[in-house]
Protein backbone atom coordinates (compact mmCIF):
# COMPACT_ATOMS: atom_id res chain seq x y z
CA UNK A 1 0.00 0.00 0.00
CA UNK A 2 1.20 3.49 -0.82
CA UNK A 3 0.72 6.07 1.89
CA UNK A 4 1.60 9.58 0.78
CA UNK A 5 3.22 11.19 3.77
CA UNK A 6 6.24 13.43 3.68
CA UNK A 7 6.88 14.45 7.31
CA UNK A 8 9.03 11.39 7.95
CA UNK A 9 9.71 7.93 6.57
CA UNK A 10 7.08 5.64 8.06
CA UNK A 11 8.78 2.50 6.79
CA UNK A 12 11.97 2.78 8.82
CA UNK A 13 10.20 3.07 12.20
CA UNK A 14 9.58 0.10 14.47
CA UNK A 15 5.84 -0.21 15.09
CA UNK A 16 3.69 0.63 16.87
CA UNK A 17 5.16 4.05 17.44
CA UNK A 18 3.91 7.46 18.54
CA UNK A 19 5.66 10.22 16.63
CA UNK A 20 5.37 13.80 17.83
CA UNK A 21 6.47 16.37 15.28
CA UNK A 22 8.45 19.36 16.51
CA UNK A 23 7.46 21.60 13.60
CA UNK A 24 3.73 20.96 14.11
CA UNK A 25 4.08 21.49 17.85
CA UNK A 26 5.89 24.79 17.30
CA UNK A 27 3.16 25.88 14.91
CA UNK A 28 0.53 25.43 17.65
CA UNK A 29 2.74 27.04 20.25
CA UNK A 30 3.26 30.12 18.06
CA UNK A 31 -0.50 30.68 17.95
CA UNK A 32 -0.68 30.43 21.75
CA UNK A 33 2.29 32.74 22.15
CA UNK A 34 0.60 35.35 19.97
CA UNK A 35 -2.45 35.27 22.27
CA UNK A 36 -0.16 35.78 25.27
CA UNK A 37 1.71 38.62 23.66
CA UNK A 38 -1.37 40.44 22.42
CA UNK A 39 -3.30 40.22 25.71
CA UNK A 40 -0.82 39.72 28.54
CA UNK A 41 -2.78 36.58 29.43
CA UNK A 42 -0.75 33.64 30.74
CA UNK A 43 -1.06 30.23 29.12
CA UNK A 44 -0.14 26.92 30.75
CA UNK A 45 0.20 23.41 29.36
CA UNK A 46 -2.40 21.10 30.96
CA UNK A 47 -0.24 17.99 31.29
CA UNK A 48 -3.23 15.70 31.54
CA UNK A 49 -3.51 15.85 27.75
CA UNK A 50 0.16 15.83 26.80
CA UNK A 51 3.09 15.13 29.08
CA UNK A 52 5.90 14.13 26.72
CA UNK A 53 8.43 15.97 28.83
CA UNK A 54 11.15 15.63 26.23
CA UNK A 55 9.40 18.58 24.57
CA UNK A 56 9.02 20.71 27.73
CA UNK A 57 12.22 22.78 27.35
CA UNK A 58 11.02 23.73 23.86
CA UNK A 59 7.46 24.43 25.08
CA UNK A 60 8.97 26.70 27.74
CA UNK A 61 10.04 29.05 24.92
CA UNK A 62 6.35 29.72 24.24
CA UNK A 63 4.25 29.21 27.39
CA UNK A 64 4.23 30.35 31.03
CA UNK A 65 4.33 26.94 32.69
CA UNK A 66 2.33 23.84 33.41
CA UNK A 67 -0.78 22.83 35.26
CA UNK A 68 -1.23 19.49 36.98
CA UNK A 69 -4.04 17.29 38.22
CA UNK A 70 -2.02 16.15 41.21
CA UNK A 71 1.44 15.53 42.63
CA UNK A 72 3.03 13.46 39.88
CA UNK A 73 2.17 15.86 37.08
CA UNK A 74 3.21 18.81 39.25
CA UNK A 75 6.60 17.18 39.87
CA UNK A 76 7.04 16.57 36.14
CA UNK A 77 6.27 20.18 35.24
CA UNK A 78 8.54 21.40 38.04
CA UNK A 79 11.39 19.16 36.91
CA UNK A 80 11.29 19.68 33.16
CA UNK A 81 9.68 23.03 32.34
CA UNK A 82 12.55 25.17 33.55
CA UNK A 83 11.70 27.89 36.05
CA UNK A 84 8.17 28.27 34.80
CA UNK A 85 5.00 28.43 36.87
CA UNK A 86 3.64 25.22 38.39
CA UNK A 87 -0.11 25.12 38.98
CA UNK A 88 -2.23 22.34 40.41
CA UNK A 89 -5.91 21.58 40.81
CA UNK A 90 -7.37 18.41 42.29
CA UNK A 91 -10.96 17.68 43.34
CA UNK A 92 -9.51 16.70 46.73
CA UNK A 93 -5.93 16.61 48.02
CA UNK A 94 -4.35 13.88 50.12
CA UNK A 95 -2.46 15.47 53.00
CA UNK A 96 0.81 13.64 52.23
CA UNK A 97 0.69 14.86 48.63
CA UNK A 98 -0.32 18.33 49.69
CA UNK A 99 2.74 18.76 51.86
CA UNK A 100 4.94 18.09 48.80
CA UNK A 101 2.83 20.31 46.54
CA UNK A 102 3.49 23.28 48.82
CA UNK A 103 7.22 22.88 48.08
CA UNK A 104 6.88 23.19 44.28
CA UNK A 105 3.60 24.88 43.30
CA UNK A 106 3.01 28.55 42.53
CA UNK A 107 -0.77 28.26 42.30
CA UNK A 108 -2.95 25.76 44.14
CA UNK A 109 -6.62 25.59 43.23
CA UNK A 110 -9.06 24.07 45.71
CA UNK A 111 -12.33 22.44 44.81
CA UNK A 112 -14.23 23.80 47.79
CA UNK A 113 -14.02 26.14 50.75
CA UNK A 114 -13.67 23.05 52.98
CA UNK A 115 -10.50 21.95 51.15
CA UNK A 116 -9.10 25.47 51.45
CA UNK A 117 -9.85 25.65 55.17
CA UNK A 118 -8.27 22.23 55.69
CA UNK A 119 -5.01 23.19 54.01
CA UNK A 120 -4.53 26.93 54.44
CA UNK A 121 -2.26 26.52 57.47
CA UNK A 122 0.00 24.20 55.48
CA UNK A 123 0.12 26.84 52.76
CA UNK A 124 1.22 29.58 55.14
CA UNK A 125 3.70 27.29 56.92
CA UNK A 126 5.39 26.51 53.60
CA UNK A 127 6.96 29.96 53.73
CA UNK A 128 6.47 30.22 49.97
CA UNK A 129 4.33 32.77 48.18
CA UNK A 130 1.66 30.36 46.92
CA UNK A 131 -1.40 31.83 45.23
CA UNK A 132 -4.54 29.99 46.17
CA UNK A 133 -7.80 29.78 44.26
CA UNK A 134 -11.22 28.17 44.38
CA UNK A 135 -12.68 26.23 41.47
CA UNK A 136 -16.20 27.33 40.63
CA UNK A 137 -18.98 25.42 38.96
CA UNK A 138 -20.95 28.07 37.07
CA UNK A 139 -23.45 25.37 36.04
CA UNK A 140 -23.10 26.44 32.45
CA UNK A 141 -21.59 24.12 29.89
CA UNK A 142 -22.24 23.34 26.24
CA UNK A 143 -20.68 19.88 26.40
CA UNK A 144 -23.15 17.19 25.44
CA UNK A 145 -21.21 14.09 26.55
CA UNK A 146 -21.67 13.71 30.32
CA UNK A 147 -18.34 12.00 30.89
CA UNK A 148 -16.60 15.19 29.72
CA UNK A 149 -19.05 17.67 31.23
CA UNK A 150 -17.86 19.15 34.55
CA UNK A 151 -21.30 20.78 35.01
CA UNK A 152 -23.48 17.70 34.62
CA UNK A 153 -26.02 16.97 37.36
CA UNK A 154 -24.32 15.99 40.58
CA UNK A 155 -20.85 16.96 39.34
CA UNK A 156 -18.12 17.00 42.00
CA UNK A 157 -15.98 19.45 40.00
CA UNK A 158 -16.07 22.92 41.52
CA UNK A 159 -18.25 24.86 43.95
CA UNK A 160 -21.71 25.93 42.86
CA UNK A 161 -23.16 29.34 43.79
CA UNK A 162 -25.49 27.67 46.32
CA UNK A 163 -22.53 26.18 48.14
CA UNK A 164 -20.20 29.15 47.79
CA UNK A 165 -19.33 30.85 51.05
CA UNK A 166 -17.81 34.29 50.35
CA UNK A 167 -16.42 34.43 53.88
CA UNK A 168 -13.86 31.80 52.92
CA UNK A 169 -12.30 34.09 50.32
CA UNK A 170 -9.80 35.49 52.80
CA UNK A 171 -6.38 34.47 51.53
CA UNK A 172 -7.81 33.48 48.15
CA UNK A 173 -6.32 35.45 45.24
CA UNK A 174 -8.06 33.83 42.28
CA UNK A 175 -11.03 31.93 40.92
CA UNK A 176 -10.97 29.08 38.44
CA UNK A 177 -13.50 27.38 36.22
CA UNK A 178 -13.17 24.68 33.59
CA UNK A 179 -16.34 23.87 31.71
CA UNK A 180 -15.31 23.45 28.08
CA UNK A 181 -14.10 20.66 25.80
CA UNK A 182 -12.81 21.12 22.24
CA UNK A 183 -14.82 24.32 21.90
CA UNK A 184 -14.53 27.63 20.10
CA UNK A 185 -14.40 31.11 21.59
CA UNK A 186 -18.14 31.76 21.11
CA UNK A 187 -18.71 29.09 23.77
CA UNK A 188 -16.18 30.81 26.01
CA UNK A 189 -17.97 34.12 25.54
CA UNK A 190 -21.31 32.68 26.67
CA UNK A 191 -19.59 30.82 29.50
CA UNK A 192 -17.90 33.96 30.77
CA UNK A 193 -21.23 35.78 30.86
CA UNK A 194 -22.85 32.88 32.72
CA UNK A 195 -19.97 32.84 35.22
CA UNK A 196 -20.24 36.62 35.65
CA UNK A 197 -23.94 36.34 36.41
CA UNK A 198 -23.28 33.92 39.25
CA UNK A 199 -19.90 35.01 40.58
CA UNK A 200 -19.08 38.35 38.90
CA UNK A 201 -19.37 40.32 42.14
CA UNK A 202 -16.22 38.53 43.40
CA UNK A 203 -14.13 38.85 40.23
CA UNK A 204 -12.90 42.40 40.89
CA UNK A 205 -11.49 41.51 44.31
CA UNK A 206 -9.29 38.81 42.72
CA UNK A 207 -5.74 39.07 41.40
CA UNK A 208 -6.24 36.41 38.78
CA UNK A 209 -8.91 34.36 37.02
CA UNK A 210 -8.24 31.02 35.35
CA UNK A 211 -10.65 29.90 32.62
CA UNK A 212 -9.35 26.33 32.44
CA UNK A 213 -8.89 24.27 29.29
CA UNK A 214 -11.08 22.98 26.47
CA UNK A 215 -10.23 25.95 24.26
CA UNK A 216 -9.48 24.53 20.80
CA UNK A 217 -7.33 27.56 20.01
CA UNK A 218 -5.10 25.88 17.44
CA UNK A 219 -7.90 24.32 15.41
CA UNK A 220 -8.19 25.78 11.93
CA UNK A 221 -11.63 27.37 12.38
CA UNK A 222 -10.99 28.71 15.91
CA UNK A 223 -11.83 32.40 16.26
CA UNK A 224 -8.66 33.73 17.91
CA UNK A 225 -9.71 37.38 17.54
CA UNK A 226 -12.82 36.76 19.61
CA UNK A 227 -10.72 35.02 22.28
CA UNK A 228 -8.46 38.08 22.42
CA UNK A 229 -11.47 40.38 22.81
CA UNK A 230 -12.81 38.25 25.68
CA UNK A 231 -9.47 38.24 27.49
CA UNK A 232 -9.09 42.02 27.05
CA UNK A 233 -12.64 42.56 28.32
CA UNK A 234 -12.15 40.43 31.44
CA UNK A 235 -8.73 41.80 32.31
CA UNK A 236 -9.83 45.40 31.89
CA UNK A 237 -13.21 45.12 33.57
CA UNK A 238 -11.95 43.30 36.66
CA UNK A 239 -8.29 44.33 36.76
CA UNK A 240 -7.15 40.71 36.90
CA UNK A 241 -4.39 38.58 35.39
CA UNK A 242 -6.03 35.96 33.21
CA UNK A 243 -4.84 32.39 32.79
CA UNK A 244 -5.80 29.74 30.27
CA UNK A 245 -4.64 26.14 30.60
CA UNK A 246 -5.30 24.26 27.37
CA UNK A 247 -4.12 20.69 26.96
CA UNK A 248 -5.39 19.56 23.58
CA UNK A 249 -4.69 22.86 21.84
CA UNK A 250 -0.97 22.61 22.63
CA UNK A 251 -0.41 19.36 20.76
CA UNK A 252 -3.49 19.22 18.54
CA UNK A 253 -2.69 17.41 15.28
CA UNK A 254 1.00 17.39 16.20
CA UNK A 255 1.42 13.65 16.57
CA UNK A 256 0.79 10.32 14.88
CA UNK A 257 0.58 6.66 15.74
CA UNK A 258 2.23 4.46 13.13
CA UNK A 259 0.99 0.87 13.11
CA UNK A 260 1.50 -2.20 10.98
CA UNK A 261 -0.98 -4.66 9.55
CA UNK A 262 -0.27 -8.09 11.06
CA UNK A 263 -2.89 -10.13 9.25
CA UNK A 264 -6.09 -9.92 7.24
CA UNK A 265 -9.12 -12.21 7.36
CA UNK A 266 -12.81 -12.38 6.50
CA UNK A 267 -16.00 -12.79 8.50
CA UNK A 268 -18.83 -11.36 6.46
CA UNK A 269 -16.47 -8.50 5.71
CA UNK A 270 -12.76 -7.83 5.36
CA UNK A 271 -10.90 -7.47 8.62
CA UNK A 272 -7.34 -6.34 9.28
CA UNK A 273 -5.56 -7.01 12.57
CA UNK A 274 -2.96 -4.39 13.41
CA UNK A 275 -0.25 -4.00 16.04
CA UNK A 276 -1.88 -0.96 17.66
CA UNK A 277 -4.86 -1.23 19.99
CA UNK A 278 -7.73 1.14 20.65
CA UNK A 279 -8.08 -0.11 24.23
CA UNK A 280 -4.36 0.16 25.02
CA UNK A 281 -2.94 2.88 22.77
CA UNK A 282 -5.79 5.21 21.82
CA UNK A 283 -8.30 4.77 24.65
CA UNK A 284 -10.35 7.84 23.67
CA UNK A 285 -11.41 6.01 20.50
CA UNK A 286 -13.50 3.78 22.78
CA UNK A 287 -14.16 6.22 25.60
CA UNK A 288 -15.08 9.40 23.72
CA UNK A 289 -15.88 7.63 21.34
CA UNK A 290 -14.45 8.88 18.05
CA UNK A 291 -12.95 7.69 14.80
CA UNK A 292 -9.34 8.75 14.22
CA UNK A 293 -8.24 9.69 10.73
CA UNK A 294 -5.83 7.44 8.88
CA UNK A 295 -3.76 9.04 6.17
CA UNK A 296 -4.83 7.88 2.70
CA UNK A 297 -8.06 6.23 3.91
CA UNK A 298 -11.74 6.93 3.41
CA UNK A 299 -14.95 6.11 5.22
CA UNK A 300 -16.36 2.61 4.86
CA UNK A 301 -17.36 2.07 1.22
CA UNK A 302 -15.82 5.30 -0.01
CA UNK A 303 -12.75 3.68 -1.56
CA UNK A 304 -12.52 0.27 -3.24
CA UNK A 305 -11.46 -1.86 -0.27
CA UNK A 306 -13.13 -1.57 3.12
CA UNK A 307 -11.71 -3.15 6.27
CA UNK A 308 -12.65 -3.31 9.89
CA UNK A 309 -9.45 -2.52 11.80
CA UNK A 310 -8.98 -4.36 15.05
CA UNK A 311 -6.20 -4.96 17.54
CA UNK A 312 -4.26 -8.09 18.43
CA UNK A 313 -5.94 -8.21 21.85
CA UNK A 314 -8.63 -10.54 23.17
CA UNK A 315 -11.16 -7.77 23.70
CA UNK A 316 -13.89 -8.24 21.07
CA UNK A 317 -14.63 -4.53 21.07
CA UNK A 318 -11.01 -3.48 20.53
CA UNK A 319 -11.95 -2.11 17.12
CA UNK A 320 -10.67 1.15 15.77
CA UNK A 321 -13.32 1.45 13.08
CA UNK A 322 -14.18 0.68 9.45
CA UNK A 323 -11.96 2.32 6.85
CA UNK A 324 -11.58 2.05 3.10
CA UNK A 325 -8.40 2.07 1.00
CA UNK A 326 -7.48 2.26 -2.69
CA UNK A 327 -5.68 -1.07 -2.56
CA UNK A 328 -6.20 -4.23 -0.52
CA UNK A 329 -4.35 -4.28 2.82
CA UNK A 330 -1.72 -6.93 3.39
CA UNK A 331 0.56 -7.89 6.27
CA UNK A 332 3.42 -5.42 6.58
CA UNK A 333 1.44 -2.39 5.37
CA UNK A 334 1.84 0.70 7.50
CA UNK A 335 -1.05 2.85 8.72
CA UNK A 336 -0.63 6.37 10.07
CA UNK A 337 -3.25 7.49 12.62
CA UNK A 338 -3.57 11.25 12.99
CA UNK A 339 -3.85 13.50 16.04
CA UNK A 340 -2.27 10.96 18.37
CA UNK A 341 -0.10 13.21 20.56
CA UNK A 342 -2.92 14.15 22.92
CA UNK A 343 -4.66 11.90 25.45
CA UNK A 344 -2.65 8.95 24.12
CA UNK A 345 0.84 8.49 25.64
CA UNK A 346 -0.38 9.82 28.99
CA UNK A 347 -3.44 7.57 28.96
CA UNK A 348 -2.25 4.27 27.50
CA UNK A 349 -1.96 0.98 29.33
CA UNK A 350 -0.62 -2.57 29.00
CA UNK A 351 -3.93 -4.43 29.16
CA UNK A 352 -3.59 -7.93 27.67
CA UNK A 353 0.18 -7.62 28.06
CA UNK A 354 0.22 -5.54 24.89
CA UNK A 355 3.47 -3.61 24.62
CA UNK A 356 3.43 0.16 24.71
CA UNK A 357 4.37 1.92 21.46
CA UNK A 358 7.78 3.53 21.06
CA UNK A 359 7.83 7.26 21.68
CA UNK A 360 9.60 9.17 18.92
CA UNK A 361 10.22 12.85 18.34
CA UNK A 362 10.63 14.11 14.79
CA UNK A 363 12.88 17.17 15.08
CA UNK A 364 14.73 19.44 12.69
CA UNK A 365 17.74 17.19 13.36
CA UNK A 366 15.85 14.06 12.38
CA UNK A 367 13.89 11.30 14.09
CA UNK A 368 14.78 10.61 17.73
CA UNK A 369 13.73 7.49 19.60
CA UNK A 370 12.83 8.80 23.05
CA UNK A 371 11.64 5.62 24.67
CA UNK A 372 11.14 1.93 23.94
CA UNK A 373 9.14 -0.33 26.23
CA UNK A 374 9.29 -4.04 26.95
CA UNK A 375 8.52 -6.82 29.40
CA UNK A 376 10.00 -4.95 32.37
CA UNK A 377 7.60 -2.03 31.84
CA UNK A 378 4.66 -4.42 31.74
CA UNK A 379 5.86 -6.30 34.81
CA UNK A 380 6.79 -3.33 36.99
CA UNK A 381 3.19 -2.17 37.32
CA UNK A 382 1.88 -5.50 38.54
C1 LIG B 1 -8.66 18.64 31.35
C2 LIG B 1 -8.36 19.94 31.95
C3 LIG B 1 -7.67 20.91 31.21
C4 LIG B 1 -7.23 20.70 29.78
O5 LIG B 1 -8.31 20.47 28.95
P6 LIG B 1 -8.15 20.33 27.35
O7 LIG B 1 -9.51 19.92 26.93
O8 LIG B 1 -7.14 19.26 27.10
O9 LIG B 1 -7.74 21.65 26.84
C10 LIG B 1 -7.40 22.10 31.85
N11 LIG B 1 -7.79 22.35 33.13
C12 LIG B 1 -8.47 21.43 33.86
C13 LIG B 1 -8.87 21.75 35.25
C14 LIG B 1 -8.77 20.20 33.29
O15 LIG B 1 -9.45 19.29 34.01
- The per-residue pLDDT for range 132-187, each reduced to its tens digit, is 999 999 999 999 999 999 999 999 999 999 999 999 999 999 999 999 999 999 99
Of all atoms in ligand 1, which is nearest to the CA of residue 215? 9
Q: 264: CA distance to ligand 1 center in Å?
A: 39
Q: What is the mean pLDDT of residues 44-56?
A: 98
Q: 288: CA distance to ligand 1 center in Å?
A: 15
Q: Which of 2-6, 242-246, 290-294, 295-299 has the lowest mean pLDDT?
A: 2-6
Write b or e for each residue in 350-365: b if 16 or more Cβ atoms lie within 10 A of its Cβ, otherwise e: beeebbbbbbbbbbee
Q: Is the pLDDT of residue 310 over 70?
A: yes
Q: Is the pLDDT of residue 2 over 80?
A: no
| pLDDT single digits (tens) 209-237 | 999 999 999 999 999 999 999 999 999 99
**Above pLDDT 90, what percent of the chain?**
98
Strand (E) or helix (H) holding 210: strand 208-210
Q: Is the CB of 49 under 6 A from ligand 1?
A: yes
The mean pLDDT of the chain is 97
Q: Is the CB of 214 under 6 A from ligand 1?
A: yes
Q: Is the CB of 357 under 6 A from ligand 1?
A: no
Going by alpha carbons, the residue nearest to atom 7 of ligand 1 is 214
What distance in Å separates the CA atoms of residue 328 and residue 332, rounded to the nearest whole number? 12
Question: How far, rounded to the nearest angstrom, does the alpha carbon of residue 297 sit from its chain's CA centroid?
Answer: 26
Q: At 5, is the pLDDT very low, low, confident or very high (cuts 50, 70, 90)?
A: confident
Of all atoms in ligand 1, which is nearest to the CA of residue 181? 7
* Confidence at residue 4, expressed as pLDDT on a 0 to 100 scale: 63
Q: 353: CA distance to ligand 1 center in Å?
A: 30
* Confidence at residue 203, expressed as pLDDT on a 0 to 100 scale: 98
Q: Which domains does the chain have, with CATH numbers?
A: 10-19+254-379 (2.40.37.10), 40-251 (3.20.20.10)
Q: Is the pLDDT of residue 256 over 90?
A: yes
Q: Is the CB of 217 under 6 A from ligand 1?
A: no
Going by alpha carbons, the residue nearest to atom 3 of ligand 1 is 213
Q: Is the pLDDT of residue 3 over 70?
A: no
Q: Is the pLDDT of residue 270 over 70?
A: yes
| pLDDT single digits (tens) 120-146 | 999 999 999 999 999 999 999 999 999
Q: Is the pLDDT of residue 266 over 80?
A: yes
What distance in Å separates the CA atoms of residue 184 and residue 32, rounded to the nearest whole number? 14
- Using alpha carbons, select from 248, 234, 133, 152 the residue that is nearest to residue 192: 234
Note if the pTM is more than 0.95. Answer: yes
* Confidence at residue 1, expressed as pLDDT on a 0 to 100 scale: 56
* Confidence at residue 82, expressed as pLDDT on a 0 to 100 scale: 94
- Using alpha carbons, select from 216, 211, 254 the residue that is nearest to residue 52: 254
What distance in Å separates the CA atoms of residue 266 and residue 205, rounded to the nearest whole number? 66
* Confidence at residue 252, expressed as pLDDT on a 0 to 100 scale: 98
* Confidence at residue 283, expressed as pLDDT on a 0 to 100 scale: 96
Going by alpha carbons, the residue nearest to atom 2 of ligand 1 is 213
What distance in Å separates the CA atoms of residue 17 and residue 11, rounded to the nearest whole number? 11
In a mutational test of the pocket of ligand 1, which residue from 43, 209, 213 has the highest number of ligand atoms less than 8 Å from its CB? 213
* Residues ≥6 apart with Cβ < 8 Å to 220: none
Amino acid sequence: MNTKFDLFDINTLATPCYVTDEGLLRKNLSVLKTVRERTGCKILLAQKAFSMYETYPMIAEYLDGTTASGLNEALLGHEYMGNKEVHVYSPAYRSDDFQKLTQICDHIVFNSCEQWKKYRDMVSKSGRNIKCGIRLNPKYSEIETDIYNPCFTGSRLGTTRDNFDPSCLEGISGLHFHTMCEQNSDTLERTVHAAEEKFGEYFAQMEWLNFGGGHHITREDYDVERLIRIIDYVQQKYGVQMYLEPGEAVALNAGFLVAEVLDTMKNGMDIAIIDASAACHMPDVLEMPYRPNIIGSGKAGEKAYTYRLGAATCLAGDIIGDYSFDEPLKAGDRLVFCDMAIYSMCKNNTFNGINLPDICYNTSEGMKLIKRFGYEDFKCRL
